[in-house]
Chains A and B, each alone.
Chain A
């Protein structure tokens, strides 16, 4: 009888003893309430973006960037109750860069990237034509596109203000 009682006690404790790990929560975009209630380390997931800018020689340069996606905030919390938990989280520029969170640049097929680059370059080139006299000694600001995948369709999304110009000569020299 005694043996049975000690056995049940150990079973309960063993159940409690296994309680350790990492708890990850997705925090909805602009949801201050959820952000206020969360208790884990905050970080952003990354998303792919396409940056296009002039090379100053009549051509355009494109770069594929994986930026912290400010619309994908996460909370990760290590917990341990009656147990041990040896773990390391590594963050870089506000993103989690460990194991499964490591950026995998092969996630977008190469052919898709090259097609998107062509579209983006064409868009930027059209916008660059017809520079007014007042805009001399300036260059167009870069173009940043979000690469969006819906089902099997890849698209570029951007809210573009073509009025932004970057000066490369001082105002007095114009």
Chain B
């Protein structure tokens, strides 16, 4: 009996010295299972198409809900550390087992708790960031709308003032003693009105674009709201097809791709481009004296301070019977040659040029492109508005 007791005591002592008996099990998950849950991945080919026919292809991994497992760790008569990391997608990361002489094995539970706490904190942080971003975006939008409204108001005022000046000059012209240069003043005032009209058109266009962008953003926000689900986007809002997701289905011998969803169109948005700084068009007449040039008749040269798309002759005060001058824009898009007719008598002439700048033409092109995208072939095509500039030319 004494021998038996001493034997059992010896074995017990050894078991205690030897360390832990630990069991970590991972099994198929049931809905109410305790422990840390993880998933195996479902590979998916994500294709993001672009308008130019190219696409970004990426392999992404979704959690496979048919392959969900739980982990439970137990330890008897021992101490150890068990660390388990599950990433935000629910996939296993690192799993480590380490001898630990400082505490009992309850780390599996701690891991699960820490994981939950980390998830809650991450969600809280994300919500805070999203709210701040939304507020900043809203403030920016309000500021932009206010600024656009002010720009339209100012352009309207400027136009009204310019128009009043023209009216006053017209009244002065029919008065008893009109100034000698009344016609020149009227022309200058009318040119000023034309310029103000262009400014107003641009200001209104920018405001309309901004309003449309705001509406698109609002529609997108509505479409994204979880409680309302899918909402019909604004009819005229630009759209693009959403990315396509192809599930990788495997057999032991082969593989196939199956679309996860039917590809739908979603509303797109792009931030409004900042209004372009309009530089007033000015011209210089480096060669006001028209002389014979390469045997093609007298030519005067005019240069513009910004690239031109087109130049037309508006008027020339040449005597009756004398052909009007020919206008040609040179390849640098800055130089304009005024070809006076051979029969033009010597003297000073005022040539009024209708000049379409690149900046104006591009702005109108952009408006036309948008209209075409939204309304198709029925879209009204606008023509760029030219600006009148007068060149004084002397024929010798």
Minimum distance in angstroms from A99 CB to a CB of chain B: 14
A42–B7 contact, CB under 8 A?
Answer: no
Known: A68-B61, A82-B18, A84-B80. 17 other contacts (CB 8 A): A36-B27, A39-B27, A51-B59, A53-B57, A84-B20, A88-B95, A90-B94, A93-B41, A94-B41, A142-B47, A142-B57, A144-B257, A146-B254, A146-B255, A164-B257, A166-B241, A169-B241
B95–A67 contact, CB under 8 A?
Answer: no
A-B pair count, CB < 8 Å, reads: 201
Contact (A36, B61) CB under 8 Å given A70-B250, A170-B265: no
B99: A residues at CB distance < 8 A: 84-86
The 8 Å CB contact of B55, one of A36, A78, A168, is: A168
Residue from B3, B7, B250 having most chain A Cβ neighbours under 10 A: B250
Q: In the bound complex, what is the Cα–Cα distance between A163 and B324 (angstroms)? A: 65
Q: In the bound complex, what is the Cα–Cα distance between A164 and B259 (angstroms)? A: 8
B95–A86 contact, CB under 8 A?
Answer: no
Q: Which of B9-17, B117-125, B140-148, B205-213 contacts A (4 or more CB under 8 A)?
A: B9-17
How many of chain A's residues have a CB under 8 angstroms from any CB in B? 73
Q: In the bound complex, what is the Cα–Cα distance between A158 and B334 (angstroms)? A: 61
Residue ID in chain A nearest B57 by CB atoms: A53
Contact (A43, B40) CB under 8 Å given A88-B95, A142-B57, A170-B265: yes
Residue ID in chain B nearest A69 by CB atoms: B250
The reply on A55 being an interface residue by CB < 8 A is yes
Q: In the bound complex, what is the Cα–Cα distance between A51 and B46 (angstroms)? A: 12
Residue ID in chain B nearest A40 by CB atoms: B26
17 contacts between A and B (CB under 8 A): A9-B14, A38-B27, A54-B55, A56-B53, A78-B24, A80-B19, A82-B15, A84-B19, A84-B80, A86-B98, A89-B94, A89-B96, A94-B40, A94-B91, A141-B47, A157-B255, A168-B51
